[in-house]
Amino acid sequence: MTTTATLPYRVTPARVLRSEWHKLRTLRSTWITLVATSALTVAMGTGLAAAYDGTGEGGMDTVVFVLLGTQFAQINLGVLGILATAGEYSTGQIRATMTAVPRRLPVLWSKAAVLAAIAFPLTLLTNLVTFPLAQSLLTGTDQAASLGDPGVLRALAGNAAGLTLLAVLALGIGALVRSVPMAIGVFIGLLMIVPEVLAMLPYDIVDEAVRYFPGKALETLTTAQPLPGTASPGAALLAMTLWTTATLTLAAAVLRRRDV
């Protein structure tokens, strides 16, 4: 009599990555969020361009003006990142995930990689569609520009990179907090509230530090011609990368030490 040995299932990085990709793409909320993000950015950019009469914007940078819709994208992609981690804790699915991948950390890295792989191409393509559409309506105004103008392509790509880093930052916050409402509150607070509160303090060092908070750094990355007194695009990108890396590192440390 012969027996057939059953080989144990091997957990590999590629399999974990494929699993996280499958989970994210099969959720209806993922596609609703992504479609809403692109649609709002395009609609707001073309809507503002159509309504613009050439006055009243005070010399606003043309890329910032056209991509004002990405203010909604920040929140949409942040919520998507939070749902990718904290959402699993709220449904209890995280227990099955960590049982299948006992080492845990590959799950976090795979979630971050999958989210970044979706967010960056989506936001970059959206920006490259929105800008020419809006510019076709801005001909003859002080906001008229082209993709070949100095800093424009860099700002469009910088905005996409910044939004992607914000989404992964939110994912890390979700892994830390493990509660969707609380994680959204922390994310919005870090993005919008804390910098404004700190900016009220009468200290130059605080003003300098606020420039490198995620929301302010994203504004810098979206500007084709950075204003005096603001961070450089390279410094802003580095600051956002450090914020995201630090959050993911802290989330990884907590994930290794806490029970599911």
Q: Which amino acid is at 57?
A: E
Number of H helices, E strands in the chain: 12, 0
61, 95, 226, 232 from 151: Cα distances, Å: 11, 47, 9, 12
Spatial contact of 108 and 97, defined as CB atoms under 8 Å apart: no
Task: Tell me whether residue 182 is exposed, middle or buried, using C-beta atoms within 10 angstroms of its C-beta: 0 to 12, 13 to 18, 19 or more.
Answer: middle
Q: Which residue has the tokens 């006055």?
A: 55
Residue 18 domain-assigned (yes or no): yes
pTM of the model: 0.91
Spatial contact of 191 and 74, defined as CB atoms under 8 Å apart: yes
Residue 3 domain-assigned (yes or no): no
Tell me the pLDDT tens digit for each residue of 118-141.
999 999 999 999 999 999 999 888
Spatial contact of 222 and 155, defined as CB atoms under 8 Å apart: yes
Residue 7 domain-assigned (yes or no): no
| Euclidean distance between CA atoms 217 and 237, whole angstroms | 7
Instruction: Residue 106: give the domain boundaries.
Output: 13-257
As given in the structure block, the two tokens for residue 114 are 């999958």
Tell me the pLDDT tens digit for each residue of 144-202.
899 999 999 999 999 999 999 999 999 999 999 999 999 999 999 999 999 999 888 88
The set of residues, in sequence order, having a beta carbon less than 8 Å from that of 77 and lying 6+ positions away, is 33, 37, 119, 123, 163, 164, 166, 167, 170
Residue 4 domain-assigned (yes or no): no
- Which CB contacts under 8 angstroms, 24+ apart, belong to 129-135? 129/42, 130/41, 130/42, 130/45, 130/46, 130/66, 130/67, 130/69, 131/45, 131/63, 131/66, 131/67, 131/156, 133/42, 133/45, 133/46, 133/49, 134/45, 134/46, 134/48, 134/49, 134/66, 135/49, 135/66
Residue 1 domain-assigned (yes or no): no
Quick one: DSSP state of residue 9?
A: P
Residue 6 domain-assigned (yes or no): no
Query: pLDDT at position 157, please?
Result: 97
Residue 229 domain-assigned (yes or no): yes
Residue 181 domain-assigned (yes or no): yes
Say what percent of the chain tops pLDDT 70. 94
As given in the structure block, the two tokens for residue 60 are 């606003």
- Number of domains comprising the chain: 1
Tell me the pLDDT tens digit for each residue of 211-232.
999 999 999 999 998 877 788 9
